[in-house]
Structure 1
Amino acid sequence: MNFEKQVISRSGNVCELSGATEDLQIYQVQPSEGNSADDFILISQNLKNQLEGSVEVSANDWRCLNDSMWSEVSAVKVVAYRMLDQLKGEGWPNDLLEMIYLDEAELTWAKAGMEDEDAIKHIDSNGVVLKAGDTVVLIKELDVKGSTITAKRGTAVRNIKLVHDDPTLIEGKVDGQSIYILTQFVKK
């Protein structure tokens, strides 16, 4: 069945995530049967390409989730939740993830389409999984390359960021300087 007219009518012919009015596409939020308009959203081509993985995800393109996560349309909230979870290494999505409300069915739908098993996990020296925004403590004195700074053992590094493509690295600030730190030298 074709639910395109219902989705366009529901959305007011604007992207249900970003509010864009040009280059719009119908997108089926998986895993869903596609049996009703509630399984689809109207989305800009740019965001659709990022969702489908045909182009690299640009975190700034998704700042629109700050508004769209409050949508009354379940499919929109599901996509918002998934993208906020995917981008949580950026830092800013963490607050939004804590605020977003999904009922039990929506949360189940959102998690069914997420790839947790293949996700990169950042693990500290004690085997604890690190998350963006955590505070860690250095367990070893570290010389900071390209600087005269030596990060002392016991130094707290607050509000860390995860390096998306390397599970052995985190980013944090020591003495006001942003540095990369190997996860084997920190503990939560």
Structure 2
Amino acid sequence: MMSNKCQLCQSETTLKTYEVPPETSNNPDNSILICSKCLAQIDKKEELDSNHWRVLSETMWSEVPGVQVVSWRMLNRLKQESWAMENLDMMYLADEILAWAKATGDHENDGTVDLHKDANGNQLLTGDTVILTKSLDVKGSTLNAKMGTVVKNIKLVEENTEQIEGKIEGQVIVILTKYVRKQG
């Protein structure tokens, strides 16, 4: 029976069904109900918040295989924290569940997250407004984007955290994040 709480952190805010990779069949054991904060950190769209995951010391004992797999992966990402290492040492997974947990290689990850950041280290998000910190010559064009130019409603380049897209003088260009600062 599903409750209206995140199966990982017990939050009751904005819940989504999460298919635990690499399993994709419609087996209910492969799907768990999680909140947007857990999802963002699992998908590395947000910095890992150690305090958010402390509740794993309780939820890791769930009988739901998907919860066990994600708990084990997140504890591994947080293993530099003594509490997470202690929980990992106590946690037991059946062989087939452990193989599933290891299948993505995520447990070998150090927990660092690659985010789009401006020249000052502020996180950039789609829709943000940025200001150029350097005049830029646009390749394949006569356009010169002057320092101080405001670029509204940027888009993140998904595969490269060092690039964003923005429109300058009606032309969509790729801009390196090290040459912008977030406005506001």
TM range (shorter): 0.5 to 0.7
Q: Which amino acid aligns with 1:74?
A: P
The aligned residue for residue 62 of structure 2 is: 71
CA deviation digits over 1:98-144, x for unaligned, max 9? 11111001000001122366659xxxxxxxxxxxxxxxxxxxxxxxx
CA contact (8 A) 1:38 1:73 kept: yes
Identify if the C-alpha distance between structure 1 residues 13 and 112 changes in structure 2 by more than 3 Å, giving closer, same or farther. Answer: same
Give the fraction of aligned pairs with identical amino acids, expressed as a percent: 39
The aligned residue for residue 53 of structure 1 is: 44
The aligned residue for residue 34 of structure 2 is: 43
CA contact (8 A) 2:7 2:34 kept: yes
Runs ≥4 in structure 1, deviation > 6 angstroms? Answer: none
- Matched residue pairs, number? 111
The 5 Å alignment of 1:4-153 reads 10-115=1-106
Give the Cα separation in 1 of the matches to 2:95 and 2:108. Answer: 21
Give the Cα separation in 2 of the matches to 1:20 and 1:116. Answer: 24
Identify if the C-alpha distance between structure 1 residues 31 and 117 changes in structure 2 by more than 3 Å, giving closer, same or farther. Answer: same
CA contact (8 A) 1:87 1:93 kept: yes
Q: Which amino acid aligns with 1:104?
A: D
Identify if the C-alpha distance between structure 1 residues 116 and 26 changes in structure 2 by more than 3 Å, giving closer, same or farther. Answer: closer
Gaps of 5+ in 2: 112-184
CA contact (8 A) 1:16 1:41 kept: yes
Give the Cα separation in 1 of the matches to 2:36 and 2:82. Answer: 25
Q: Which amino acid aligns with 2:84?
A: P
Across the aligned residues of Structure 1 and Structure 2, the Cα RMSD in angstroms comes to 1.7
CA contact (8 A) 1:34 1:40 kept: no
CA contact (8 A) 2:56 2:71 kept: yes
Report the TM-score, using the length of structure 2 for normalisation. Answer: 0.57
Report the TM-score, using the length of structure 1 for normalisation. Answer: 0.55
CA contact (8 A) 2:41 2:47 kept: yes
Deviation of the 1:23 alpha carbon: 1.0
SS of residue matched to 1:93: helix
Give the Cα separation in 2 of the matches to 1:13 and 1:38. Answer: 17
